[in-house]
C-alpha cells in the first residue's frame, strides 16, 4: 500500500500541520504502508509535474495551514495541476484525507474546499482532521488530540485496505458535465461512425489487426538479446558527467521485463549495473519506464525530465535528485 502526503504549508517549525502529518506518517509506517512526502514549498517550479506521482498511490493526505485565509497558493497550484494534467481514471480510485490546521480562522471552510476539490477530480474522500491551534506546544502534548489524529490515520488505512464504498455526490455529476466530450460531428461523419459501429465484420477485423500487431510486438520484445541491458549500462557509463556533492542511488525498472538498471553515484564515482532483483535495492529514486522510452533517452531524443512530464516514466523519491539525471548524463543525439 502506498500513501502520498502533500504538504502545502510554508515549512515553519511551529506549523501544527507538521506535527499532525508526522504523527500520521508514524502510524502508517507501523502498519507497513509506504509513505512518501512532498513538501510543495520546496518544489515551487515542479508542482505541475506532481500529478504524475499519483499513479503509484492508493491514498493521499492533503495537508495545509490556514494562516490568514483559504488553503494557500501551493496547495491550490497542486490541485489545479491535478485538474489539468492528472489521470482522472487513476484519481477515481484514490482515497484522500484532508488535514487543515488554522492559526487564525477558517479551518472548516478550508477542509471543505479540499473535500470538494478532490470529489470534483473524481476521487474518494475520507473524514478530515481540522482544528484551530492557538498554542502549538499545548496542542502537540495533548494526548487526546494525538489519539484523534492516530485514529484518523487508521481510518484512512482501513478505507484503502477494505476498498470502502462511497455514496454518490453532486460534485461527481458536475465533474462529468464539465468533462463531457464537446466534439460536434458533421452529418457525414456521424453517418460514417454509425456505419462502422454497426458493422460487425469491420469491428472484428479491427480487433484481429490489433491482436496481430500485439503478437508482433511481443515477439520483437521476446527476441531482444539477453545482453541488451548491459549495452544500455555501457552507454550510461560513457555519457556520465561527474558531479560534486551528489550521493544517490537510482533504480530504473524496465516495465517490459522483470529487469532493472541500478545507478549508484558518489560525486565523481559511478557504479552502474543491470539486475533482475531490483526490489532488493534500497534506492533514493525509483523510476519505471519501458524499453522504448529508455532507448529514446539514450539516443538523446528526449530527456529524463521530459519523459516524466509526459507520463512515459513514473518516479518516486526526491524530485531535486531526480532532475540530476539529466545533469549527470549527456547523451549525443543519434
**Residue 47 is placed in which grid cell?**
508542482
CATH number of 2-171, picked from 3.90.320.10, 3.40.50.360, 3.40.50.300, 3.30.1380.20 = 3.40.50.360
Cα 112 from Cα 116, distance rounded (Å)? 6
Q: pLDDT tens digits, residue range 233-289?
A: 999 999 999 988 889 999 999 887 778 999 999 988 999 998 887 777 889 999 999
Instruction: Tell me the C-alpha distance between 91 and 58, whole Å.
Output: 9
Q: Are 263 and 236 in contact (CB under 8 A)?
A: yes
Give CA 161 to chain center in angstroms: 19
Q: What's the mean pLDDT when you consider all of the chain?
A: 84
For 228-328, CATH number out of 3.40.50.2300, 1.20.120.330, 3.20.20.150, 3.30.1050.10 equals 3.30.1050.10
Map grid coordinates 517490459 to a residue. Answer: 256
Cα–Cα distance between 113 and 71 in angstroms, integer?
Answer: 8
Looking at residue 76, what is its pLDDT?
94
Q: What is the pLDDT of residues 6-28, one digit of tens each?
A: 999 998 888 999 999 999 999 99
Query: Mind giving me the DSSP string for 105-131?
Result: S-HHHHHHHHHHHHHHTT-EE---EEE
CA atoms of 123 and 49, how far apart (whole Å): 19
Separation CA 84–CA 87 (nearest Å)? 9
Whether the per-residue pLDDT at 101 is higher than 60: the answer is: yes
For CATH 3.40.50.360, the residue range(s) in the chain are 2-171
Amino acid at each position: 500500500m502506498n500513501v502520498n502526503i502533500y504538504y502545502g504549508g510554508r515549512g515553519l517549525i511551529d506549523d501544527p500541520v507538521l506535527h499532525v502529518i508526522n504523527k500520521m506518517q508514524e502510524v502508517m509506517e507501523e502498519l507497513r504502508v509506504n509513505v512518501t512526502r512532498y513538501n510543495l514549498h520546496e518544489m515551487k517550479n515542479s508542482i505541475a509535474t506532481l500529478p504524475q506521482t499519483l499513479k503509484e498511490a492508493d491514498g493521499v493526505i492533503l495537508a495545509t495551514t490556514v494562516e490568514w485565509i483559504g488553503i494557500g497558493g501551493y496547495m491550490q497550484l497542486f490541485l489545479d495541476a491535478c485538474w489539468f494534467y492528472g489521470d482522472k481514471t487513476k484519481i477515481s480510485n484514490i482515497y484522500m484525507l484532508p488535514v487543515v490546521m488554522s492559526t487564525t480562522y477558517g479551518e472548516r471552510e478550508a477542509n471543505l474546499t479540499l473535500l470538494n476539490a478532490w470529489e470534483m477530480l473524481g476521487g474518494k474522500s475520507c473524514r478530515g482532521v481540522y482544528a484551530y491551534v492557538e498554542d502549538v506546544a499545548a496542542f502537540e502534548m495533548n494526548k487526546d488530540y494525538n489519539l484523534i489524529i492516530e485514529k484518523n490515520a487508521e481510518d484512512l488505512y482501513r478505507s484503502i485496505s477494505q476498498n470502502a464504498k462511497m455514496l454518490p455526490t453532486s460534485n461527481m455529476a458536475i465533474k462529468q458535465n464539465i468533462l463531457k466530450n464537446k466534439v460536434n460531428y458533421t452529418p457525414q461523419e456521424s453517418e460514417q461512425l454509425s456505419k462502422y459501429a454497426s458493422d460487425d465484420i469491420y469491428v472484428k477485423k479491427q480487433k484481429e489487426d490489433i491482436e496481430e500487431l500485439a503478437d508482433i510486438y511481443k515477439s520483437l520484445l521476446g527476441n531482444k538479446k539477453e545482453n541488451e541491458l548491459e549495452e544500455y549500462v555501457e552507454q550510461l557509463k560513457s555519457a556520465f558527467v561527474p558531479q560534486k556533492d551528489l550521493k544517490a542511488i537510482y533504480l530504473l525498472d524496465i516495465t517490459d521485463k522483470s529487469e532493472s538498471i541500478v545507478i549508484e553515484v558518489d560525486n565523481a564515482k559511478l557504479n552502474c549495473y543491470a539486475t533482475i532483483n531490483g526490489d532488493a535495492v534500497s534506492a533514493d529514486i525509483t523510476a519505471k519506464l519501458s524499453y522504448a522510452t529508455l532507448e529514446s533517452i539514450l539516443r538523446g531524443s528526449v530527456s529524463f525530465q521530459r519523459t516524466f512530464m509526459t507520463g512515459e516514466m513514473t518516479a518516486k523519491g526526491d524530485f531535486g535528485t531526480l532532475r540530476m539525471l539529466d545533469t549527470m548524463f549527456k547523451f549525443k543525439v543519434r
